[in-house]
Amino acid sequence: MTEHMLSPASGRVIRIHGRTISIFMHLHNVHITAAPLDGMVKKIIPEKGTFKPAFLRSSDFNTRNTIELGTKYGDIKIVQIAGFFTRKIKCEVKEGQEVAKAERIGKICFGSRVDVSIPEGFAILVKKGDKVKCRKTAIAIASPSAATIP
């Protein structure tokens, strides 16, 4: 069976840079963050920063929370990025916790952005401008030999 990586957030793809997809969540989008694949939370890294509008490149320096997830395809990062109106990021997982694909892992209050890294062996299925839905839209697909851990 082919593995699909699900979108960790609802919104619009605003950038694909290398193997990272950036999804902007408008004020009207649901701001839940979900696990794109099954895995184990390896590390959580909160960082203070600015509060620029999340659709601008300058938001790369905004307050953020990075969740490193170990998967059978390798490690990925889900980065919750605060936006102009956002002042609170809620991380609902702990280091060492197992999570299932599509399981809720956090929430960002109001307009914001989520960046997700795509593991090697996965082909990206979305393009800039595409609308995606959290837990529903497949954003990448694994090749049959993509798994790195037995």
Question: Confidence band (pLDDT; 50, 70, 90) for 29?
Answer: confident
Which pair of tokens denotes residue 43? 């590390």
Angle, vertex CA 135, rays to CA 130 and CA 136, nearest 5: 55
Bridge-based pairing of strands 39-47 and 64-71 is: antiparallel
The confidence score (pLDDT) of residue 150 equals 46
Residue 40 near residue 97 (C-beta atoms within 8 A): yes
Residues 75-91: what's their mean pLDDT? 88
**C-alpha span between 49 and 19 (Å, rounded):** 23
**C-alpha span between 85 and 27 (Å, rounded):** 9
Active site residue 112: yes
**C-alpha span between 59 and 109 (Å, rounded):** 16
Q: Which of 112, 117, 143, 145 is catalytic?
A: 112
Domains detected in the chain = 4-142 (2.70.70.10)
Round the average pLDDT of the chain to a whole number and report it: 91
Which pair of tokens denotes residue 103? 């399981």
pLDDT tens digits for range 99-132? 999 999 999 877 689 999 999 999 999 999 999 9
* Torsion (CA) 42, 132, 117, 45 in degrees, nearest 10: -40
Which residue, chain included where needed, has tokens 């696990």? Answer: 35
